[in-house]
Structure 1
């Protein structure tokens, strides 16, 4: 199953870019991975920015993909539960899973309605830029769990 990670805007901090590079390299040992950035909207009201950013994200989602949004109001899973979800998708012949991270103001309701699943990484609030590395680490962790490797400790 191919993975695609979408996010809004460029990664600003070098330390975050290093983390992204580290985990994308690790994930690619298990599965094809693509990362795509949608242009960040600036200078408009929050709702207008959400709408425009989500229109850009929507264009990056393949028609047959399973779409998972990362949002603070989503379901919270443990790492083994995320692994099980990803494994079930893989075993059900889902060709591509897309994880989307919204911009600073989140997702438009219309894009949220399009999602197959909405997940929250925590009840804590993280910057949308930090979520990139956290999500990638969790995807890597999920693959090690699915492969019975010792990275994850319960």
Structure 2
């Protein structure tokens, strides 16, 4: 199974980008992992919030296959402990999925079309983080999940 993270916009902060890349590289030792960023929309000044979400949603949906299991990283999603998230990942690995796709929305969240396509929603926290930080936190937690599953010492219980 491939695990994929989809997001919108580039990471401006080189420190966050470098740390994100560290965890992406580490993930490669455990599972096939892809990270894809869709460029920011151009000329958003003339778009209202819903129009921007709709356009971003179309770009996100075009990156999905019908067979993908899609999980939105959403503030209203299910919250897990790190151990619980590792169990969630293990269940998906055992399910025979070809691709598990996690999506980080744009600055205003997701369009209704993206919500309708989603199979699940996961929340990293009740707090709000920048999209750049969410990328880092997510790849770190995914790496942590694999170290928990492999009973490795990265996660101290």
With structure 2 as the length reference, what TM-score do the two structures score? 0.94
The answer to whether structure 1 residue 29 and structure 2 residue 32 are counterparts is no
Local SS of the residue matching 2:5: strand
Match for residue 85 of structure 1?
Answer: 88
Local SS of the residue matching 1:75: strand
State the distance in 2 between where 1:20 and 1:61 align.
23
Q: Where does the alignment leave 5 or more consecutive residues of structure 1 unmatched?
A: none
State the distance in 2 between where 1:100 and 1:92 align.
20
Q: Where does the alignment leave 5 or more consecutive residues of structure 2 unmatched?
A: none
Instruction: Spell out the pairing of 1:1-154 with structure 2 (5 A cutoff).
Output: 1-41=1-41, 42-43=44-45, 44-154=47-157
Local SS of the residue matching 1:29: coil
Return the offset for 1:62: 2.2
With structure 1 as the length reference, what TM-score do the two structures score? 0.96
State the distance in 1 between where 2:16 and 2:51 align.
27
Aligned pair count reads 154
Runs of 4+ in 1 over 6 A off after TM superposition: none
Q: Deviations over 1:53-108 (max 9, x none)?
A: 01101111122111010011111111111111110111111111101001111101
Local SS of the residue matching 1:143: helix
Local SS of the residue matching 1:141: helix
Please report the RMSD computed on the Cα atoms of aligned residues, expressed in angstroms.
1.0
